Chains A and B, each alone.
Chain A
Amino acid sequence: MKSVLRERTLRGPAFAIALIVVLMSLAMLVAGTSPLDGFAALFYGALGGRTEIGETLVATSALLFPALGICLAFRAGLFNIGAEGQLLVGALFAGAVGAQIHLPGVLGIVLLLGLGMLGGGLWGAIAGWMKAQFNANEIIATLMLNFVAAALALGLVSGPLKGPLATGAETAWLDPSYWLPTLLPQTRLSIGIVLALALAVFLNWLLKDTIFGYDLRATGEAPEAARRSGINVPRMTWFTLALSGAVAGLGGAVIVTGELHRFNTQLSPGYGFTAIAVALVGDLEPLWICVAAFGFGILEAGGLAMQASAQVPKDAIHIIEGLIILVLAARRYALRDTGVNAP
């Protein structure tokens, strides 16, 4: 199942980039702008100055965590569509506890990030348990848990966890001792991006050089051979989904501690879904996913500027992201078919 969505060449990502350029050019032409002006606006909006670069990297970081989580699950043959919910629950755990309890110093930050992993991991583990125990379809389970997460967050943050001075569905501010240090002065960019890159390096090592990674990849590529080689496939299933959720949940905690400094139900404009495209364009390789996340970060951050100066609606970018998933998946199905049917 997984190898359908993945091939170990650069052609996939290169194809995706070419596709993005072509589709966006078309969108700009339809909107009555020259693609050159449009792309200029996009890149200026994303990379034109300190603030712009900061915002691009904030988006990169927000996409990178869930994309890495998705990568782990997909490599194990599990279609985790629930990174959005896992990210939200991770953020909720961090935000809720951070707004109530005060712990000084690094310990507090580590606690909140750990709570983010716990929350996201729990959310992934629920889907994993359902699949391992009842053979529930993980696509449905993870997808539906997104709605449960959103409702849970809204319910808690509108009621018991609502900050005393909050106007919307949000918690109280975190104590500044919980805030992640700023990486780039005068921007919102925290050291969360460094954490994300380190995580990518770690996961790359985990997948390639450890027995756990070997077992995980074997389960994804050939579940029956994996089972016969002594791998406990049900355990691998729930554990991988838990780990995948924990990585996404850590991303949620980084958004809370690094940028917003409180939990807010609107904190993700669909990062967990866009991250699916990021993971696929990154060929499900953690290090390439870093590159892909930066590319999508440019789109996210530059999209607004493009809308303002080139009259291409920002939503066009989301339409294009959706198309990329479709086309990449279809193309790999096609490649796989010719590869298998030839004797």
Chain B
Amino acid sequence: MNGVPALELRGIRKTFPGVVAVDGADLDIFPGEIHALVGENGAGKSTLAAIAFGEVAPDAGTVEVRGSVGLVHQHFELVGRLRVWENVLLGREPRRGWRIDEAAAHRRVVEIAQRNGLAIDPDAFVETLPIGVQQRVELLRELDREPSVLLLDEPTAALAPAEIASFFETIANLARRGTAVLIVTHKLQEVIDYASRVSVMRHGAIVARMETAATNVDEIARAMVGGELPVIAERAPTQPAPAVALRDVRVPDAAVPLRGVSFEVRGGEIVGIAGVEGNGQSTLADAIAGMIAHDGTIDAPPARGIIPQDRQREALVMPWSIVDNAILGRQHAPGARKRAREDAQQIVERFDVRAASLDVAVRTLSGGNQQKVVVGRALIDRPPFVLAYNPTRGIDVGAAALVQSRLMEARNAGAAVLLISFELDEILALADRVLVMYRGEIVGETAGAAIDRVAIGRMMAGAR
């Protein structure tokens, strides 16, 4: 790359109590490029982005910015009950005396939107907008400050495939006009498709820098892991028999209502529920787990292993030991407390949980090891039905492969596995059948050889 970098990080080092988050990282982002920063969870990429933005001060190293830096968070920070223009200009409203100059504010928002080719209604209330449009609002808010460097943290995590393409069109436009863009992501295919360069972080350092034109997904993934990629257990032939059946399940008054969901999961198969986040997956999982009331019928064996979506809030008691957590959910079974240590030992061995002892608080474990405890506990009694909700979200590649292997083994041994995941790749890798969920309904189903990424992507965006 020629020219002067818009953002220059040199020898950045940052430690938090007990962890070296960033360990001597150098990074240059040039005007006009889309630069991807990838790495496993805990590799330090979020910390590095926060340092670049000036949110976190490094212990050592220098940050040089030519111009200003804007940051779009992974989780939007919008006020749902305010209008689009109010959100975009929040804190920087044009004033007339002691009042907001609404006409000027309108003009300004429309003008930024047009300049950047973003279609938006400035008067819409943000809470009524789909996720993809909300993200445009978030983006507009940063663009109003005309940053020379734009940082995007997992920008496509909540977007449907079609929205992703239009999002990157906008970003490419920005880059063409001279903005330096840094995208923190874990979606490697998007890196190849849309970024010009990629930097790979591992253990707090940048371990590889590549032109995306000269590399591929596998090479980036190997650089992230620092070796060969782990393989998932193989699919074995099974004889599926009905195990779980949902008939016309409705939850009318949930945040995202279920509008008549019917499907079966048979023993010895993995059924994947694909869909963009926020299309009723949580409502469905809660109804099946018996956490909320529903209409219609759900026939499922009483013995079930449930892997909830939020391990820290819904599955674990964080200050407790592995031993105490090992029986949570089964504590009322006879003799459970006596078996707790034995169970914990078994979970740690079968799932390769890296912990100093069985008595350490699960809070001190890494996310991957916490998730192994949750999955291990769900599978320990070999339940005939397993409900797994984003079982590998936010954990490293090795832990993810192990979790996926254990789910596949449960299937091979005859369990009915329902896999709800926002990662299409995960569903494609594991599922025997794929159902697509959109706005509280199952809008499509494909199985076996007919499973097709493009068709599923279209259905995820609402096309039937």
Binding site for B on A (CB under 8 A): 3, 8, 209, 211, 214-215, 217-218, 221-222, 224-230, 338-339, 341-343
A-B contact pairs, 20 of them (CB 8 A): A211-B332, A211-B337, A214-B324, A214-B331, A214-B337, A218-B317, A218-B320, A218-B328, A222-B316, A222-B317, A224-B310, A225-B316, A228-B289, A228-B306, A228-B308, A228-B315, A229-B329, A229-B331, A342-B16, A342-B17
Known: A211-B332, A230-B332. A342 touches B314 (CB 8 A): no
Q: How far is the CA of A217 from the CA of B325 in the complex (A)?
A: 12
Task: Determine if B130 is an interface residue (Cβ-Cβ < 8 Å).
Answer: no
Whole-angstrom distance between the Cβ of B321 and the nearest chain A Cβ:
11
Task: Determine if B291 is an interface residue (Cβ-Cβ < 8 Å).
Answer: yes
Extra pairs beyond A214-B331, A230-B332 (7, CB < 8 Å): A221-B318, A224-B310, A225-B314, A226-B317, A228-B308, A228-B315, A230-B329
Task: Determine if B313 is an interface residue (Cβ-Cβ < 8 Å).
Answer: yes
For residue B47, which residues in chain A have a CB less than 8 angstroms away from its CB? 343
Task: Determine if B280 is an interface residue (Cβ-Cβ < 8 Å).
Answer: no
Q: How far is the CA of A218 from the CA of B373 in the complex (A)?
A: 17
Q: How many A-B residue pairs have CB under 8 A?
A: 63
Residue of A nearest to B306 (CB): A228
Residue of A nearest to B363 (CB): A339
For residue A224, which residues in chain B have a CB less than 8 angstroms away from its CB? 310, 313-314
For residue A227, which residues in chain B have a CB less than 8 angstroms away from its CB? 291
Q: How far is the CA of A229 from the CA of B332 in the complex (A)?
A: 9
Q: By CB atoms of chain B within 10 A, which of A3, A217, A225 has the most?
A: A225
Whole-angstrom distance between the Cβ of A12 and the nearest chain B Cβ:
14
Q: Are A343 and B42 in contact, with the CB atoms below 8 A?
A: yes
Known: A221-B320, A222-B318, A225-B317. A211 touches B289 (CB 8 A): no
Mask of B253-291 contacts with A, CB within 8 angstroms, 1/0: 000000000000000000000000000000000000101
Residue of A nearest to B41 (CB): A343
Q: Are A343 and B328 in contact, with the CB atoms below 8 A?
A: no
Q: How far is the CA of A218 from the CA of B16 in the complex (A)?
A: 29
Task: Determine if B450 is an interface residue (Cβ-Cβ < 8 Å).
Answer: no
Q: Are A211 and B331 in contact, with the CB atoms below 8 A?
A: yes
For residue B314, which residues in chain A have a CB less than 8 angstroms away from its CB? 224-225, 228
Whole-angstrom distance between the Cβ of B341 and the nearest chain A Cβ:
14
Q: Are A338 and B17 in contact, with the CB atoms below 8 A?
A: yes
Q: How far is the CA of A228 from the CA of B18 in the complex (A)?
A: 32
Whole-angstrom distance between the Cβ of B306 and the nearest chain A Cβ:
7
Q: How far is the CA of A228 from the CA of B313 in the complex (A)?
A: 10
Q: How far is the CA of A226 from the CA of B331 in the complex (A)?
A: 11
Whole-angstrom distance between the Cβ of A242 and the nearest chain B Cβ:
21
Q: Which listed residue (A209, A221, A230, A342) contacts B317, Cβ 8 A?
A: A221
Q: Which listed residue (B16, B19, B315) contacts A225, Cβ 8 A?
A: B315
For residue B306, which residues in chain A have a CB less than 8 angstroms away from its CB? 228
Residue of B nearest to A2 (CB): B319
Q: Which of B287-312 contact A (CB under 8 A)?
A: 289, 291, 306, 308, 310
Q: How far is the CA of A227 from the CA of B324 in the complex (A)?
A: 16
For residue A339, which residues in chain B have a CB less than 8 angstroms away from its CB? 17, 363
Task: Determine if B21 is an interface residue (Cβ-Cβ < 8 Å).
Answer: yes
Q: Are B313 and A222 in contact, with the CB atoms below 8 A?
A: yes
Sorted from nearest, which 8 A-B pairs have the closest CB atoms? A342-B16, A229-B329, A222-B317, A221-B317, A229-B328, A224-B313, A224-B314, A342-B17
Residue of B nearest to A222 (CB): B317
Q: Are B17 and A343 in contact, with the CB atoms below 8 A?
A: no
For residue B337, which residues in chain A have a CB less than 8 angstroms away from its CB? 209, 211, 214
Whole-angstrom distance between the Cβ of A86 and the nearest chain B Cβ:
28
For residue B317, which residues in chain A have a CB less than 8 angstroms away from its CB? 217-218, 221-222, 225-226
Q: How far is the CA of A112 from the CA of B174 in the complex (A)?
A: 79
Residue of A nearest to B291 (CB): A228
Whole-angstrom distance between the Cβ of A334 and the nearest chain B Cβ:
13
Q: Which of B320-338 contact A (CB under 8 A)?
A: 320, 324, 328-329, 331-332, 336-337
Q: Are B319 and A342 in contact, with the CB atoms below 8 A?
A: no
Q: Are B291 and A225 in contact, with the CB atoms below 8 A?
A: no
Whole-angstrom distance between the Cβ of A6 and the nearest chain B Cβ:
9
For residue B291, which residues in chain A have a CB less than 8 angstroms away from its CB? 227-228
For residue A222, which residues in chain B have a CB less than 8 angstroms away from its CB? 313, 316-318
For residue A342, which residues in chain B have a CB less than 8 angstroms away from its CB? 16-19
Whole-angstrom distance between the Cβ of A142 and the nearest chain B Cβ:
25
Residue of B nearest to A7 (CB): B319
Q: How far is the CA of A339 from the CA of B314 in the complex (A)?
A: 20
Q: How far is the CA of A221 from the CA of B336 in the complex (A)?
A: 20
Residue of A nearest to B289 (CB): A228
Q: By CB atoms of chain A within 10 A, which of B289, B291, B328 has the most?
A: B328
Q: By CB atoms of chain A within 10 A, which of B310, B320, B336 has the most?
A: B320
For residue A214, which residues in chain B have a CB less than 8 angstroms away from its CB? 324, 331, 337
For residue B16, which residues in chain A have a CB less than 8 angstroms away from its CB? 341-343
Q: By CB atoms of chain A within 10 A, which of B16, B289, B308, B329 has the most?
A: B329
Q: How far is the CA of A228 from the CA of B377 in the complex (A)?
A: 14
Residue of B nearest to A342 (CB): B16
Q: How far is the CA of A52 from the CA of B51 in the complex (A)?
A: 61
For residue A229, which residues in chain B have a CB less than 8 angstroms away from its CB? 328-329, 331
Q: How far is the CA of A8 from the CA of B42 in the complex (A)?
A: 27
For residue A338, which residues in chain B have a CB less than 8 angstroms away from its CB? 17
Known: A3-B319, A211-B337, A214-B337. A225 touches B328 (CB 8 A): yes
Whole-angstrom distance between the Cβ of A10 and the nearest chain B Cβ:
17
For residue B313, which residues in chain A have a CB less than 8 angstroms away from its CB? 222, 224-225
Q: How far is the CA of A226 from the CA of B18 in the complex (A)?
A: 29
Q: How far is the CA of A323 from the CA of B306 in the complex (A)?
A: 45
Q: How far is the CA of A341 from the CA of B50 in the complex (A)?
A: 13
Q: How far is the CA of A211 from the CA of B330 in the complex (A)?
A: 11
Whole-angstrom distance between the Cβ of A126 and the nearest chain B Cβ:
28
Q: How far is the CA of A321 from the CA of B320 in the complex (A)?
A: 30
For residue A343, which residues in chain B have a CB less than 8 angstroms away from its CB? 16, 19, 21, 42, 46-47
Residue of A nearest to B367 (CB): A343
Residue of B nearest to A211 (CB): B331
Whole-angstrom distance between the Cβ of A92 and the nearest chain B Cβ:
38
Whole-angstrom distance between the Cβ of A236 and the nearest chain B Cβ:
13
Q: How far is the CA of A186 from the CA of B43 in the complex (A)?
A: 70
Q: How far is the CA of A341 from the CA of B47 in the complex (A)?
A: 12
Q: How far is the CA of A87 from the CA of B35 in the complex (A)?
A: 66
Q: How far is the CA of A3 from the CA of B317 in the complex (A)?
A: 11
Residue of A nearest to B361 (CB): A8
For residue A8, which residues in chain B have a CB less than 8 angstroms away from its CB? 319
For residue A228, which residues in chain B have a CB less than 8 angstroms away from its CB? 289, 291, 306, 308, 314-315, 329
For residue A217, which residues in chain B have a CB less than 8 angstroms away from its CB? 317, 320
Q: How far is the CA of A199 from the CA of B315 in the complex (A)?
A: 33
Q: How far is the CA of A316 from the CA of B11 in the complex (A)?
A: 55
Mask of B326-357 contacts with A, CB within 8 angstroms, 1/0: 00110110001100000000000000000000
For residue B289, which residues in chain A have a CB less than 8 angstroms away from its CB? 228
Whole-angstrom distance between the Cβ of A341 and the nearest chain B Cβ:
8
Residue of B nearest to A218 (CB): B317
